[in-house]
Every structure is written in C-alpha cells, then in structure tokens.
Chain A
Amino acid sequence: MNYETVIGLEVHLQLNTVTKVFCGCSTKFGQKPNSQTCPVCLGLPGSLPVLNETAFLFGIKVALALNCGIQSLIKFDRKNYYYPDLPKNYQISQYDMPLAYNGFVDIPANLTGLPKRIRILRVHLEEDAGKLIHPEREGHSLVDLNRTGIPLLEIVTEPDMNSPQEAYDYLTRLKSILEYLKVSDCDMEKGSLRCDANISIRPSGESKLGTKIELKNMNTFKGVKSSLEYEVKRQATVIDGGEKLFQETRLWDADKMITLSMRSKEEATDYRYFPEPDLVPFSVDKAFIEKIRQRLPELPEAKIRRFMKDYGLSEYDSNVLAGQSEIAEYFERCAQVYENRKAIANWITGDIMAYLKTQGASPADLGVSPESLAALLKMIDKGAISGKMAKEILSEAIETKMAPEKIIADKGLSQISDSGKLEEIVMQVISKNERSVKDYRSGKKNALGYLVGQIMKETKGAANPEIVNRILEKALEARQ
C-alpha cells in the first residue's frame, strides 16, 4: 500500500543566559558535578523561584522570529511527575498560557520538494532537569544537578512535515534562525538542542491520522532523519502485515540504526498541571514587543534574498552561505574588500566549509580571517600565485593558524611572474635542450610541453605558466 507520512517535531532549546531560569547559578557546561547549585535549583524545602528576565526576553525573541503571536497574559504551571533528576518532583513549565502560539517556519525548496511552510503550534519556557548517570552493572544511579534549572525553550510544530527530509530541512532552518538570534549554542551533541519526533503514517488519501509514535534519543539531525526513515518503513511493514500499531514511545539506537520500544510505564501519566503559585503572571505590552521585533537581526530568509540581489549569487550559494550566521558574516566581511563574490562563495562553500564540517569548527576557529582570504584571492587574480597554490596555502594556514601572507613570504612561494627573470630561465633551458628545440622546430609541437616542464622544474613550480608559455613560444619562433 502507499502511505503518507505525518511528522511533528518538538525541539527543546537551552538558552545561553548567564544564570539559570529561576536562580542565580551559572549555566556553564562541563563543570564539577553539583557545584552549580543553590537551594532553589536543588529544590530544597522553602526555596522559591524568581524568573530570569533575560531568559524570558530570549523566549520572546525566538517566538517573534518564528512569527508567533505573543500572548497578552503569560503564566507558569507545575508539571508533576517523579524522577530523580527533577529534585522538586515537579517541573516549572507552561501549560495553557505559554509565551506564544501560532507561528511558522518556511523551509526552502530542495532536491526533493517545493518550498513549504511548517506551522509552529506553541513556544513555551520551562526549566531543564538534571543529569543521571547509570554506571554499568551497578545497582544505582548518580545524580548531577548542575543542569537543573537551565532555561529551556520548547518549540512545538503542527504535524506538517510529510517526509523525513522535510523534518531535516525544518530543523536545519530552525537551527539557522536560532543561531542568528544568538540565544543558544544550538549544539545537539552537548544537549543544548534536543529533538523529539511524533510520526504516524496513513494510507494515501486517508484523512484520519494514523497511530502516533513518539521518537526520542536522537543526537544529531541526521539521526532524526534516519530514525524517521526507519519508522516509516517499520510502520508500513507492520500495517502491511495486517497488524496494528499502538501508541508508544520508541528510542533511537544510533549504532544499530533502529528504534526500540521503551518499556511501558507502570502507570498512565497524569501530570496534574496547575498554576505555579510561587510565580506571578507576566504580561508584556504591545509597544515593547514591537521594539523587540524591530531589533531582531536579519533572519536567514531575508539574508538569502539579499545575497541573491546584492551579490548576484545563485539561490543555492545564498542558501548555503546564509544557513549559518557565522558563515554569512564571514562571507560578507570578505565581500566588503573583494569584488568577485562568486569566487568568495566558491571558496567558502568549498574548501572552507568542508574543513569546518570535518573539524566541527566555526569560522572563528579558522585562523584565516575574511580579509586574509580576500588577499589570497586577489593574489590569484594578479597572477602572483596559482589557484592550486592558493588551495595549499589556505589549508596550511588553517592547519598552522599562520596568516596566509606569512606562509607565502616564508616559503618564497609567490609565483614568478617577472618576465625578465623568466626570460633568463627560458633562455637557459633552450640552450641546454637543443634537441627538443630542434624537434619543436621540425614540427613536433609536443616538445613544447617538455620544455615547459623543464622550466617549471627549474623554478620549483613557481613560474606563472601563462607567462612561461608566451615567452617560450616567442623565443622559439625568434630563433628560427
């Protein structure tokens, strides 16, 4: 049977505030366990939460960037459940009056589909839980509460995605927007961005939704895509086999590339949400919201359009460059001092991004400033170095963190374009290789290649081949 896939995503985003959402403890990653805690985030009896203003503003910023409507009255609620990483045994979250409702993210056209609008159902602010460590074979778990209380923004979509690729594209665009806002590290491996998925399939043309399966434990965007691809096949196989799916949560096993059913809980969950009495309601006036909206940075979509228009780049290049705010910024700094934007785009989307990807690095770690890249490209234009040399210099600059200009100077790598100097070398080579000269003159034109090779050997490859060719041809003709 043919099936239609229906996917909705829930993203949890750690906000990069200095302090936690309800207390003054640091949010810094990777510190000594339980060293960033206080009575509030330890959930000690008697302690009370007070909302971090910056976390709230970051939430509003994100909601506005996702085209949501900010609610006129916002409140927090308690979500009650027992778990040792949640010291109060309730999470301060938002239930029926969250920060914002009803937004959207437009995902660009790609190889598999047309541009599409993914609706955002809601955005709400809550506190993160702590970390549990389960030592192998031991009969206990260890709890670190440093992460407890880090501000977490939950971004929930409508079930608008119809393929794993669309889910991947949504996540990519969402991450891009969030990076532009500079409100989070968006690092899935560190856990600052997490994603759960809801997926169901139904026979093509059917209007009723199929059985919803919740997927958890995906640690990369690729993992999200792979887990969804696996689920589409698994669910189709189950239905085709005449069996029924039942609603459950499944965990993605990235090593085995399969999803596994989580053992069903001993009880049906009942979170008993009720208004958090320790916090008062919040309301932000319209003028203030407009002020925040106006101060939002240029977002990916606008940037892509501008790159196409102002720099004459292709849609593809613009998408790639504007996809990451730091890359876009790198490109634009380069473009300010160098005219050939297409060339910049090629270098960035080629060698530079390939390097960044393999190293998991950001342009700031590159060691090659946009101005240095521009200088390198200008040297190619002038013929001072060859394109091939430029590639080597760039990779060495990245490896050694030395300025490309310095590498060129230190190694005497600059291309010999000085005609006088080259003429001298050409004459030497001609006099040493009379036989080849004769061959050339007797019509064996390929002897020219041999002579060029000798010149390059003589100059250790630094001769500008175009100029060498010109001088050599001229010299050979003249002797006739």
Chain B
Amino acid sequence: MMEDLHLSTGHELKVLMRDGLESAKILDALYARIDVLDSKIGAFALVNRKAHRRPGGGTLDGIPVLVKDNICVKGEDTTCSSKILKGFKPPYDATVVRRLKEEGAVLIGKANMDEFAFGSSCETSCYGPTRNPWDLERIPGGSSGGSAAAVASDETIMALGSDTGGSIRQPAALCGVVGLKPTYGRVSRYGLIAFASSLDQIGPITKDVEDAALLLGVIAGYDEMDSTSVDIPVPDYATSLASDVKGLRVGVPKEYFVKGIDREVEAAVKRSINVFKDLGALVVDISLPHTEYAVSAYYIIGPAEASSNLARFDGAHYGYRAPDAKNMLDMYVRTRSEGFGREAKRRILLGTYCLSSGYYDAYYLKALKVRTKIKEDFDNAFKFCDIIVTPTSPTPAFRIGEKANDPLAMYLSDIFTIPANLAGLPGISIPCGFTRSGLPIGLQIMAKPFAEETIFRAAYTFERNADIEKRKPKL
C-alpha cells in the first residue's frame, strides 16, 4: 500500500493522513517515481528536493502540488521554460501560490511547459520537450504539458496549469486526466506571468473531479492585487459533487462535430452524450454559429497582448542579458533574439504586426468585435441549456515533431477550447475513453460564467457513472 502512495488522489491522501500517514512518505514515493520516470517524460522544469510539510494545517495539508513554471514562487526559479528568464527568482509569491502555502500544500517543483505558454505540444521548452506518458513518442499537449504529464504519470498528486486558449484542457485530454479552466476572474492572475491578459486563467489539473474541486476551492476568490478578479463568494465546491444530472440541459453544438475531427474522438464524445441522456439529462441541439472564427480571433488577440506582455523581457532589469552589448538597442535586440525561441518570436511578430499603425482596425479591432459575436453565441445558447458538451481536442495526442513546422496546423488543435477563453467561460476536460491504440480522449464541458458548480456536478456524475475503463499508462 505505502509504495503506491503516488497513485493516490489528494482527497484519498487527506483521509490517509487523518489516519496517521506522514506527508514525508508521500513525498518519498513521488521523489522515487520522479527519479525513475522524469528523465523519460520531462514533466518537471525543476524538482524541489527540499519540499516539506509546513506547520499550520489547512485544506491541502501535506499534499504535493506541482506548479506550472509561469507561476511565481518566491525565491524559486520561475522561467516560463524560456532561456530569457533563466535564473529569475521572483521576490514574491503569486496569489495562488500564497493560498496553496496557506492551506498547507507542499510545492514539489515547477512544471515544464511550452515556452511562455505558446503552444499545444510542450515541444518548445528550453528544458526540452515533455512526452506523453501514454506514448513517449507523442506530445502530451500544451502548454501545461508538464503539469498534465506529471499528474498522468503519478509524479505529482495534483498540479496547477494555466489556460489561455486550451492550455489546461487540451493536455488534460491528451494525458487522460482532469483539467479545469475557471471563469475569467474566478482565480487571481497576480503572479501568473502573462501570455494574454484578457484570456489567461490558472486552474487545476488533477486525477479526478473531486480533486479539481478541492484545488479550485483553495485557489479561487477575489484578490485585491488583480483588478480583473471578481468579488463573488467562492462556493463550497465539495457540496456540488452530487451524482445527479436529472433534468440538466446538455447542449450539443453542431459546429463542434465537423470535418477534420478524429472519428474515434467523435464516437467517444457521442457515447458520452448518450451517457448523460441515460442518466436523465435533457440533450438539446444548439448552435454556436461563430465557432469557425474563434481561432482567427484568438490568433490576433492572443499574440497582440503577448507582444506587449513580453516586451519587458529585454535584459535590463532581470533575466538573461546578451553579453557585451554596444548600446541599449543592441542589448535589447540581441537579448531578445538569443533569449526567445522560434514560436515566441513568431507570436511576438504576429502580435506586433496586428497592433501596428495601419493594421490595428483591420486585425485587432476586428478580432475584438468578432469576440463579441462569439460571446453572444454562448449567451444565446445558454438560454436553452445549462452545460455545453464537446470534444476537448479534435484529435488524440499527435507525434512529436508532427506539427512543429506547421504553425497553422498546430493552432487548429485548439479549435474547440479557444471559444471558452474568448467568452470568459469555465470549461473542464475529463477522460471519456481511449482510442484503439490506447490514447486517452477528453470530453469538454462548458457552462455559464461562475457556474463551476454545474460543471463539477456534471463531470462528477459522468466520472462515477460512465463506464470508462480506469487505466494507468504503462511506464
């Protein structure tokens, strides 16, 4: 039993610790696991070998949590998996990290990610790629690929990711774990190194729905340090974990079942919808007519904000600085050219272009208007349903390198997750089956703003009742 501690969920460990299990034993089991596996998987940017339980107790007392490398931990390397931030140790904790510490969580390290969260494959990290625990030749998804892979391979109990266009949900789907992007404004962004400020949210990546609810309960809530965090009380998410979807109206948008979607994914999702129907939910056909424009709007808004957010990485005040610069401009240009990877440069160029004089109206302003249309689609749809169920990703995990040289193909892998970010909605990805070759498939559930409880209820009910095989990757 003891040697299997790493396989446990957070809520299971809470029970075991109440009965006398020492937190150090859990850490020992995880360190042993990391030592064996992580050279193969590459889920960690940094392993905190000195992690320990702190005095004071709390909701997550003694439970190890892995934090994505774009979330600031005071005095610990926080690099966004980029050369340009190598050695950067923030003098402050992100609000979510402060809350984790206050609730007794044990911070076990920093999770590998796509550089600055730009990517859907976790191939662009300066620490090297993260591999999918289900098939080491495949990508784990991204950008929170390290967080999802570590949870899937039981190298951590839970993890935090961040989601700008699907960066929590898509890797959760591809790694067969649970990942929730909360409503924009539900979780403080203070201390999350921004990719696109109007889209970013931090959220949990866990082994089951109950842990996601547990972790969200700790990190959610108003923060006076974040103007965009909303002052609405945080419900007790544990109480929303009722196994009951009777009468729940499940919307199925026809625009999410189109050409290009993998047939096995489509079949698994359709089976899942039937599970809801069998459990007493009302399945409603809905339409989100502007879905096909979401990727376009996103690839203007995201890079535009990113080009500005990433301007600060210039070698002047922290992080990497190119040596022997002749003058200021030389330092800026060389630091950034040497410090950023190719995808980061691509997005900076794209975003700068879309904001530059003469193109602003045609691109940026246009995208913001289309964003309004996409949000209206959801407002209308939620008149007829309580949740919307779709595939998380159009395909299961693809091979490493497969889309590395085709940015557009890579961007299209976020086609089903991007709309929730543009509209600010909460969305979860939960496992809903496997392909014949044994790759996990994810089911996405979206709801109205601040209706995470509804999502948890539906996801929990599905998890308990759908006959999804409980498998672990063979490692």
A contacts B: CB pair < 8 Å: yes
A interface with B by C-beta (< 8 Å): 39, 42-51, 78, 80, 82, 84, 87-90, 141, 143, 145, 266, 270, 272, 274, 277-280
B interface with A by C-beta (< 8 Å): 70-72, 78, 80, 85, 88, 90-92, 94, 189-194, 196-198, 224-228, 304-305, 307-308, 311-314, 316-318, 328-329, 332, 352, 355-357, 360, 364
Report chain A residues within 8 Å CB of B307: 80, 272
A80 touches B355 (CB 8 A): yes
B190 touches A47 (CB 8 A): yes
Q: A272 contacts which of B190, B192, B224, B352 (Cβ < 8 Å)? A: B352
Report chain B residues within 8 Å CB of A274: 304-305, 308, 355, 360, 364
Q: How far is the CA of A87 from the CA of B289 in the complex (A)?
A: 42
Instruction: State whether A278 and B352 are in contact (beta carbons under 8 Å apart), knowing that A43-B317, A80-B308, A89-B314 are contacts in the complex.
Output: no
Q: B317 contacts which of A87, A141, A278 (Cβ < 8 Å)? A: A87
A143 touches B190 (CB 8 A): no
B187 CB → nearest A CB, Å:
13
Report chain A residues within 8 Å CB of B70: 46
A48 touches B227 (CB 8 A): yes
Q: How far is the CA of A80 from the CA of B356 in the complex (A)?
A: 10
* Complex: chain B residue closest to A278, CB-CB: B197
Report chain A residues within 8 Å CB of B225: 48, 50
B311 touches A82 (CB 8 A): yes
A84 touches B197 (CB 8 A): no
B312 touches A279 (CB 8 A): no
B312 touches A270 (CB 8 A): no
Q: How far is the CA of A423 from the CA of B146 in the complex (A)?
A: 108
Report chain A residues within 8 Å CB of B85: 45
* Complex: chain B residue closest to A81, CB-CB: B311
Q: How far is the CA of A272 from the CA of B353 in the complex (A)?
A: 9
A73 CB → nearest B CB, Å:
15
Q: How far is the CA of A9 from the CA of B155 in the complex (A)?
A: 63
A280 touches B312 (CB 8 A): no
Report chain A residues within 8 Å CB of B196: 277
B90 touches A39 (CB 8 A): yes
B312 touches A43 (CB 8 A): yes
* Complex: chain A residue closest to B318, CB-CB: A44
Instruction: State whether A49 and B227 are in contact (beta carbons under 8 Å apart), knowing that A82-B332, A84-B316, A87-B312 are contacts in the complex.
Output: yes
* Complex: chain B residue closest to A89, CB-CB: B311
Report chain A residues within 8 Å CB of B90: 39, 44-46
B329 CB → nearest A CB, Å:
7
Told that A46-B70, A46-B192, A88-B312 touch, could you supply 18 new A-B pairs with CB distance under 8 A? Answer: A44-B91, A45-B90, A45-B313, A46-B78, A48-B227, A48-B228, A50-B225, A89-B312, A145-B317, A266-B329, A270-B357, A272-B352, A272-B355, A272-B357, A277-B197, A277-B228, A278-B228, A280-B228
Q: A48 contacts which of B71, B189, B308, B317 (Cβ < 8 Å)? A: B189
Q: How far is the CA of A84 from the CA of B329 in the complex (A)?
A: 10
Q: How far is the CA of A42 from the CA of B94 in the complex (A)?
A: 15
Q: How far is the CA of A172 from the CA of B399 in the complex (A)?
A: 71
A272 touches B328 (CB 8 A): no
B467 CB → nearest A CB, Å:
43
Instruction: State whether A48 and B190 are in contact (beta carbons under 8 Å apart), knowing that A39-B90, A80-B355, A278-B227 are contacts in the complex.
Output: yes
**Which 5 A/B pairs are nearest by Cβ-Cβ distance?**
A89-B311, A277-B197, A277-B198, A272-B355, A45-B193
Report chain B residues within 8 Å CB of A141: 328
Q: How far is the CA of A279 from the CA of B72 in the complex (A)?
A: 20
Report chain B residues within 8 Å CB of A280: 227-228
Report chain B residues within 8 Å CB of A43: 312, 317
B471 CB → nearest A CB, Å:
37
Q: How far is the CA of A141 from the CA of B80 in the complex (A)?
A: 29
B190 touches A46 (CB 8 A): yes
B303 CB → nearest A CB, Å:
12
* Complex: chain B residue closest to A78, CB-CB: B308
A425 CB → nearest B CB, Å:
79
A40 CB → nearest B CB, Å:
8
Q: How far is the CA of A141 from the CA of B317 in the complex (A)?
A: 13
> Can you give 11 A-B contacts (C-beta < 8 A)?
A39-B91, A39-B92, A46-B70, A46-B190, A48-B226, A78-B308, A82-B332, A270-B356, A272-B355, A272-B357, A279-B227
B328 touches A84 (CB 8 A): yes
Q: How far is the CA of A277 from the CA of B364 in the complex (A)?
A: 13
Report chain B residues within 8 Å CB of A279: 227-228
B314 touches A50 (CB 8 A): no
* Complex: chain B residue closest to A145, CB-CB: B317
Q: How far is the CA of A274 from the CA of B365 in the complex (A)?
A: 9
Q: How far is the CA of A42 from the CA of B319 in the complex (A)?
A: 13
Report chain A residues within 8 Å CB of B311: 80, 82, 88-90
B82 CB → nearest A CB, Å:
10
Q: How far is the CA of A32 from the CA of B166 in the complex (A)?
A: 45
Report chain B residues within 8 Å CB of A82: 311, 314, 332
Q: How far is the CA of A47 from the CA of B309 in the complex (A)?
A: 11
Report chain A residues within 8 Å CB of B91: 39, 44
Report chain A residues within 8 Å CB of B224: 50
Q: How far is the CA of A145 from the CA of B355 in the complex (A)?
A: 28
Q: How far is the CA of A82 from the CA of B315 in the complex (A)?
A: 12
Q: How far is the CA of A51 from the CA of B307 in the complex (A)?
A: 23
B274 CB → nearest A CB, Å:
40
B89 CB → nearest A CB, Å:
11
